[in-house]
């Protein structure tokens, strides 16, 4: 027994030494071409103040709206897409623990007891003698078994590496779902507030067209207007009514979308209209393209997926090498529980086993080729994700830039419309202008106000999209683990 123990100890020492190596390529982050700066908005963005500040995890609070903050808090707790992503992350974490368990031996215990019998006495003739035997035996056994497969070629290590990278990718996907839900919620909320302002403006425009129709009908009776004028007035009123109804539909659908995002049925949710809502655009810190590699959840997820695929190459390569398993068992067996745990009833075994596949028809080679091809595909997906991220940020910067200029132009138009309406009102009160002139000036003012509010809403929504495309408020380490924004500066 001592000789066997020495042999198994020697095998264990050799296995521990060999397990320090792992076959397959060590992972290196795939290189990507990263520009020095963004093309769109580079000039105007440099003029923004506080360019060294970082986006916060609760970036939506920068819009200074308590109702919005409450809705986002509800969504983060009750949204079912987030719950689904969290469950997927727990599955990935469990996979890491499952793969890690292969580092350790498996120990099992058993106990069994049986009573068996064979044969029976059989009579030869009536009243005669009998022949045959009858045997009854009892058997009891108690034992423990331990087995361990040393990670000689790093198969377990690569499997754990792949599972851990996959868990990090799933973690990034969870963060991405949270960012997607919150940003979509904020965008829907701003769209709903835009609809509130548009509905109020369109109701005012409809009332003006209704007044113009009445004036046209009166003019037709007095001979001051033609039937064509009446038809045109009817068309203008019906068009205003149709646009108003369409906007009310948009508002209701936005409200339904918000209800689903916060985990409620649409029938159980409503928001009070705020036609005088003030849209805000927070200061968004400037960033560099290289920072996206650590900010965008889709980039982090794609890169971690590539790391997992790289580790799978090592797992596939380890199949070329023999497997060593070490096992030992110890126990007791006897005919009864009495004196079972004594040395004469002891049974044990210990020893290694080595297995190697000599021929598999190319299965292992195909497995390695498949793992390499899968890695190449994931690297391509990672690089494409980076390029798409650059594009989305460029698009958002361009949108923010031109919407800012559009907002300035609409502001000037609104101010002139206010002046024209004030002038028309003064002329009407002085008797120098007709009521129809005043209504036309008011109509122009309402339309200018609506266009101005639409641009402000679009600017706020575009800022949300930019924040989303920048990756939100969190950042990630080189290993794919999230870090606090304040620590990432």
DSSP string, 298-354: HHHHHHHHHHHHHHHHHHHHGGGS-EEEEEEEEEEEESSSTTTTSGGGEEEEEEEEE
3-state DSSP call for residue 104? coil
Report which of residues 349 and 338 the model is more confident about.
349
Report which of residues 356 and 485 the model is more confident about.
356
pLDDT value, residue 288? 78
User: In this predicted model, what pLDDT tens digit does every residue of 377-412 receive, in sequence order?
Assistant: 999 999 999 999 999 999 999 999 999 999 999 999
pLDDT value, residue 128? 54
Average pLDDT of the chain to the nearest whole number: 85
Question: Is the pLDDT confidence value at 287 over 50?
Answer: yes
- Least confident window among 12-26, 52-66, 233-247, 468-482: 12-26
pLDDT value, residue 464? 96
Q: Can you tell me the mean pLDDT for 6-21?
A: 47
Q: Are 400 and 42 in contact (CB under 8 A)?
A: no
- Least confident window among 55-69, 227-241, 351-365: 351-365
pLDDT value, residue 488? 44
Q: Are 480 and 303 in contact (CB under 8 A)?
A: yes
Q: What share of the chain is helix, strand, coil (3-state, %, to 5)?
A: 65, 10, 25
Q: Are 461 and 190 in contact (CB under 8 A)?
A: yes
Question: Is the pLDDT confidence value at 122 over 70?
Answer: no
- Least confident window among 183-192, 196-205, 264-273, 341-350: 341-350
Question: Is the pLDDT confidence value at 206 over 50?
Answer: yes
pLDDT value, residue 9? 47
Which of 60, 261, 285 minimizes the C-alpha distance to 177?
A: 261
Question: Is the pLDDT confidence value at 51 over 60?
Answer: no
| pTM more than 0.85 | no
pLDDT value, residue 474? 67
Question: To which residue do tokens 């390569």 refer?
Answer: 317
In the structure, what pLDDT confidence band is assigned to residue 489 with cuts at 50, 70 and 90? very low
DSSP state of 48: S
pLDDT value, residue 50? 44
Question: Is the pLDDT confidence value at 98 over 60?
Answer: yes
What's the CA gap between 182 and 198, in Å, rounded? 24
Cα maximum dimension of the chain: 146
What is the distance, to the nearest Å, from the Cα of residue 244 to the centroid of all Cα atoms in its chain?
Answer: 37
What's the CA gap between 145 and 11, in Å, rounded? 18
Q: Can you tell me the mean pLDDT for 136-146?
A: 83
- The radius of gyration computed from the CA coordinates of the chain, to the nearest angstrom, equals 39
CB atoms within 10 A of CB 269: 16
| Dihedral angle sign, alpha carbons of residues 43, 49, 53, 58 | negative
Distances in whole angstroms, Cα of residue 488 to Cα of each of 172, 284, 288, 302, 485: 16, 17, 14, 21, 5
DSSP state of 102: G
What's the CA gap between 112 and 138, in Å, rounded? 11
Q: Are 336 and 140 in contact (CB under 8 A)?
A: yes
The rounded percent of the chain whose pLDDT value lies above 90 is: 54
In the structure, what pLDDT confidence band is assigned to residue 134 with cuts at 50, 70 and 90? low
Looking at mean pLDDT, say which of 151-160, 309-318, 330-339 comes out highest. Answer: 309-318
């Amino acid at each position: 027994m001592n000789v066997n123990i020495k042999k198994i100890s020697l095998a264990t020492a050799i296995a521990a030494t060999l397990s320090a190596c792992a076959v397959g390529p060590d992972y290196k982050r795939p290189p990507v071409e990263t520009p020095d700066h963004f093309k769109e908005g580079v000039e105007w963005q440099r003029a923004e103040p506080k360019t060294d500040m970082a986006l916060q995890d609760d970036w939506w609070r920068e819009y200074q709206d308590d109702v919005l903050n409450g809705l986002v808090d509800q969504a983060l707790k009750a949204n079912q897409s987030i719950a689904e992503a969290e469950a997927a992350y727990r599955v990935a974490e469990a996979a890491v623990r499952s793969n890690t368990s292969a580092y350790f031996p498996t120990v099992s215990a058993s106990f069994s007891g049986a009573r068996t019998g064979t044969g029976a006495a059989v009579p030869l003739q009536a009243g005669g003698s009998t022949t045959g035997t009858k045997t009854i035996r009892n058997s009891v056994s108690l034992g423990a078994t331990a087995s361990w497969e040393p990670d000689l070629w790093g198969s377990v290590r690569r499997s754990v590496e792949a599972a851990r990278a996959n868990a990090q990718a799933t973690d990034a996907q969870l963060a991405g779902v949270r960012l997607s839900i919150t940003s979509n919620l904020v965008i829907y909320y701003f769209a709903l507030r835009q609809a509130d302002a548009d509905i109020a403006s369109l109701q005012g425009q409809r009332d003006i067209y209704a007044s113009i129709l009445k004036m046209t009908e009166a003019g037709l009776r007095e001979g001051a207007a033609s039937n064509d004028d009446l038809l045109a007035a009817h068309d203008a009123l019906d068009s205003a009514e149709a646009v108003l109804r369409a906007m009310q539909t948009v508002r209701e659908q936005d409200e339904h979308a918000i209800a689903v995002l916060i985990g409620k049925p649409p029938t159980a949710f409503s928001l009070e209209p705020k036609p005088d809502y003030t849209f805000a655009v927070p200061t968004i810190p400037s960033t560099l393209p290289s920072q996206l590699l650590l900010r965008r959840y889709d980039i982090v997820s794609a890169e971690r997926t590539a790391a997992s695929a790289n580790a799978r190459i090592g797992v596939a390569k380890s199949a070329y090498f023999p497997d060593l398993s070490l096992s030992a068992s110890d126990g007791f067996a006897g005919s009864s529980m009495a004196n079972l745990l004594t040395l004469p009833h002891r049974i044990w075994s210990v020893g290694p086993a080595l297995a190697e596949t000599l021929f598999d028809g190319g299965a292992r080679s195909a497995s390695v080729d498949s793992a390499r091809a899968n890695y190449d595909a994931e690297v391509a997906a990672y690089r494409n994700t980076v390029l798409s991220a650059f594009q989305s940020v460029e698009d958002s910067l361009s949108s923010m830039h031109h919407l800012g200029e559009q907002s300035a132009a609409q502001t000037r138009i609104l101010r002139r419309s206010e002046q024209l309406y004030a002038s028309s009102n003064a002329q009407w009160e002085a008797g120098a202008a007709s009521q129809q002139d005043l209504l036309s000036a008011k109509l122009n003012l309402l339309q200018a106000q609506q266009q101005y509010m639409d641009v402000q809403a679009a600017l706020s929504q575009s800022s949300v999209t930019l924040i989303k495309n920048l990756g939100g408020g969190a950042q990630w380490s080189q290993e794919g683990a999230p870090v606090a924004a304040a620590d990432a500066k």
